[in-house]
Amino acid sequence: MRIKSVCVYCGSRSGAMPAYESAAESLGVMLATRGLRLVYGAGDVGLMGVVARAAQGAGGETFGVIPEHLVKREVGKSDLTTYVVTETMHERKKVMLYNADAVVVLPGGPGSLDELFEALTWRQLGLHSKPIVILNVAGYWDKLRALVEHMLEQGFAEDTLRDYLIWAETPEQVMEILSA
């Protein structure tokens, strides 16, 4: 399957390290220059805003999905190619995942984890077969990787769960994975 649209889960904050914003910006530019549509949470704050502005600045197509109750809090970015306002968070996640061929996870907080684990659970249940790439900027997701291994060691998931997560250290590696 050729990937044309990439869902990016990431923080509505920029985080403590400049490397997080740098990776978000690079990823946004790379998606756009390779003709891949960015699907994301439609916010104009934190890493969400960085990745979207970078994709737009490089001429990319952007598809943002935001629940009504977060339009003000996350500063809904209504100048996107496609801007969708949903009623609920659940609907947001569904629309984002259904409108993408792959998922990339940048650093983020509880919301990014929620999105990741829903996509991962759906993959485990056979509801989709989209690649899920974790962009482990500066080791941000190392403890998540250890947690996944712990779940497997303790018998709370099948070994195939490990296969559903693809780990990358740089935006360039993400693009290599998406084009493979």
Rounded Cα gap, residues 57 and 54, in angstroms: 5
pLDDT tens profile 13-56: 999 999 999 999 999 999 999 999 999 999 999 999 999 999 99
Q: Is the pLDDT of residue 1 over 80?
A: no
Please tell me whether the overall predicted TM-score, pTM, comes out greater than 0.85 for this model: yes
Q: What is the DSSP letter of 85?
A: E
What was the pLDDT predicted at 167?
A: 98
Phi, psi dihedral angles at 37 (to 5 degrees): -75, 135
What was the pLDDT predicted at 141?
A: 98
Rounded Cα gap, residues 173 and 167, in angstroms: 9
Contact yes or no for 126/30 (Cβ under 8 A): no
Average pLDDT, the chain: 97
3-state secondary structure of 122: helix
Strand partners, 43: 76
What was the pLDDT predicted at 138?
A: 98
Rounded Cα gap, residues 72 and 37, in angstroms: 24
Token output for 27: 């990823």
What was the pLDDT predicted at 74?
A: 86
Q: Is the pLDDT of residue 113 over 80?
A: yes
| C-alpha to C-alpha distances, 147 to 65, 131, 172, 174, nearest whole angstrom | 29, 20, 25, 22
Q: Is the pLDDT of residue 179 over 80?
A: yes
All structural domains of the chain: 5-179 (3.40.50.450)
| C-alpha to C-alpha distances, 134 to 38, 68, 70, nearest whole angstrom | 16, 28, 25
What was the pLDDT predicted at 42?
A: 97
